[in-house]
């Protein structure tokens, strides 16, 4: 499914920064250079030892503006990719809660899907004002509120069909040795606000240390009785974590022109977007049984010495190789060619090979 791009950001950026002289549809050269410098500083602050994460970095207009025009379209596209993967739709309440909303890209993606009421919380109050602007023109209503993810602030009453966390869990208690347990406790307590069958949805940066924490949180939630609806098809401990490997999705997208220009100027590659993700159902929620044939691609395309192409996949049986002979004319060839990291497929009638499953002319590959 095509991801809708977040547009109309420059007028909001002008409102926020007071730079009202330039054109409404793009930044001027000088503005672009200044924003690219702020993007570069933000990006550096999010990587390495992440000295700005959780530090109120969206409280000043320059950094919030840079986040709005560069990172918000990325989060919005990732949110849509994750929502599409589980066919998220408004449920009986039509209400959603978006925590750590920042300037509101995930809230906007929820409104795009037809949620009628999105409650959006963050401790950066300036960001909440921008989130309100980003929700303009949507059919549903945005209700911003102050939320302190490490304190004891009031939350709006449920029920919510979905509670979302876009790139925020990794910022909570980030230096605490028990940060995973604290984040799990937060998710567990929030699950009491879900509609029956509602979901907790988180996506996170895919960098090594944050991804390791995402997988540890996944295992902690499973230990607390939650079901991982996606990206996993196994109900046991995470096979990637057990192998010391990473697991993340990857979105190939068509970036809006302004994001492309800023990425070029800030020397960042955003042609594909990697993210760790978790879609959780509460212990009481009924969950569809998935067929044993279903796996998710968790690597890039690899090639064996013998010329066979393969992917590492993960399913109910754990992590293993799914390979195909070169130059096959079997009916699954075009599906195989289109396969990429993050895709879910049903592999019907594979042959057993030493390293996993192999496709034969009699096999079928059905994209989920
Ligand atoms: C990387 S931004 C993500 C914003 C948005 N969800 C997105 O996906 O683009 C992280 C957000 O979490 C918020 N945040 C970090 N720590 C928080 C805390 N302890 N309480 C409330 N919000 C927090 C920040 O203010 C920021 O808006």
Mutate to test the pocket of ligand 1, among 50, 76, 171, 210 (most ligand atoms within 8 A of CB): 171
Domains delineated in the chain: 9-281 (3.40.50.150), 294-367 (2.40.50)
Q: Is 158 in the pocket of ligand 1 (CB under 6 A)?
A: no
pLDDT in the model for residue 2: 54
What are 309's strand-pairing partners? 303, 324
Give 271-285 pLDDT, tens digit per residue. 999 999 999 999 988
pLDDT in the model for residue 51: 77
State how far the Cα of 319 lies from the Cα of 246, in Å rounded to an integer: 12
Alpha helices in the chain (DSSP H): 9-17, 29-46, 61-66, 72-85, 105-112, 125-134, 179-190, 208-223, 239-242, 257-266, 333-338
Mutate to test the pocket of ligand 1, among 58, 96, 102 (most ligand atoms within 8 A of CB): 102
Q: Is 77 in the pocket of ligand 1 (CB under 6 A)?
A: no
As separate numbers, helices (DSSP H) first and strands (DSSP E) second, the chain gives 11, 16
pLDDT level of residue 74 (50, 70, 90 thresholds): very high
CA 102 / ligand 1 centre spacing (Å): 5
| Prediction pTM value | 0.96
Give 176-233 pLDDT, tens digit per residue. 999 999 999 999 999 999 999 999 999 999 999 999 999 999 999 999 999 999 999 9
Mutate to test the pocket of ligand 1, among 51, 99, 100, 251 (most ligand atoms within 8 A of CB): 100
pLDDT in the model for residue 289: 86
Rg (CA), the chain: 21
Give 121-168 pLDDT, tens digit per residue. 999 999 999 999 999 999 999 999 999 999 888 999 999 999 999 999
What are 367's strand-pairing partners? 345
State how far the Cα of 155 lies from the Cα of 193, in Å rounded to an integer: 10
Q: Is 127 in the pocket of ligand 1 (CB under 6 A)?
A: yes
State how far the Cα of 317 lies from the Cα of 366, in Å rounded to an integer: 18
Give 50-73 pLDDT, tens digit per residue. 777 777 788 889 999 999 999 999
CA 169 / ligand 1 centre spacing (Å): 8
Terminal alpha carbon distance of the chain: 12
């Amino acid at each position: 499914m095509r991801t809708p791009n977040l547009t109309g950001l420059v007028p909001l950026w002008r409102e926020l920064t007071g730079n009202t002289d330039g054109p409404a549809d793009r930044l001027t050269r000088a503005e672009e250079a200044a924003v690219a410098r702020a993007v570069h500083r933000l990006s550096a602050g999010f990587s390495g030892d992440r000295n700005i994460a959780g530090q109120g970095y969206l409280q000043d207009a320059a950094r919030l503006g840079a986040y709005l025009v560069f990172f918000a379209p990325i989060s919005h596209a990732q949110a849509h990719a994750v929502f599409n993967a589980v066919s998220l739709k408004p449920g009986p309440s039509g209400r959603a809660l978006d925590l750590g909303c920042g300037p509101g890209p995930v809230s906007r993606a929820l409104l795009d899907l037809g949620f009628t009421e999105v409650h959006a919380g963050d401790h950066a109050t300036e960001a909440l004002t921008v989130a309100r602007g980003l929700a303009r023109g949507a059919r549903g209503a945005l209700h911003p509120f102050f939320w302190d993810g490490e304190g004891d602030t009031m939350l709006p009453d449920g029920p919510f069909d979905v509670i979302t966390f876009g790139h925020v869990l990794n910022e909570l208690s980030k230096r605490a040795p028990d940060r995973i347990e604290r984040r799990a406790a937060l998710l567990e307590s929030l699950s009491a606000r879900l509609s029956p069958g509602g979901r907790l949805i988180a996506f996170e940066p895919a960098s090594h240390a944050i991804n390791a924490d995402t997988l540890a949180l996944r295992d902690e939630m499973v230990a607390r009785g939650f079901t991982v609806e996606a990206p996993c098809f196994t109900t046991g401990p995470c096979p990637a974590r057990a192998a010391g490997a990473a697991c993340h999705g990857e979105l190939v997208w068509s970036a809006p022109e302004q994001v492309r220009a800023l990425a070029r100027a800030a020397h960042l590659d955003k042609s594909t977007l990697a993210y760790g993700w978790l879609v959780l159902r509460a212990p009481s929620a009924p969950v569809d049984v998935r067929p044993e044939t279903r796996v998710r691609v968790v690597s890039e395309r690899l090639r064996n010495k013998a010329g066979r192409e393969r992917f590492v996949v993960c399913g109910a049986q754990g992590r293993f190789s799914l390979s195909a002979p070169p130059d096959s004319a079997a009916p699954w060839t075009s599906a195989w060619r289109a396969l990429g990291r993050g895709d879910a497929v049903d592999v019907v009638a594979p042959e057993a090979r030493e390293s996993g499953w192999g496709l034969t002319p009699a096999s079928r590959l059905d994209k989920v």
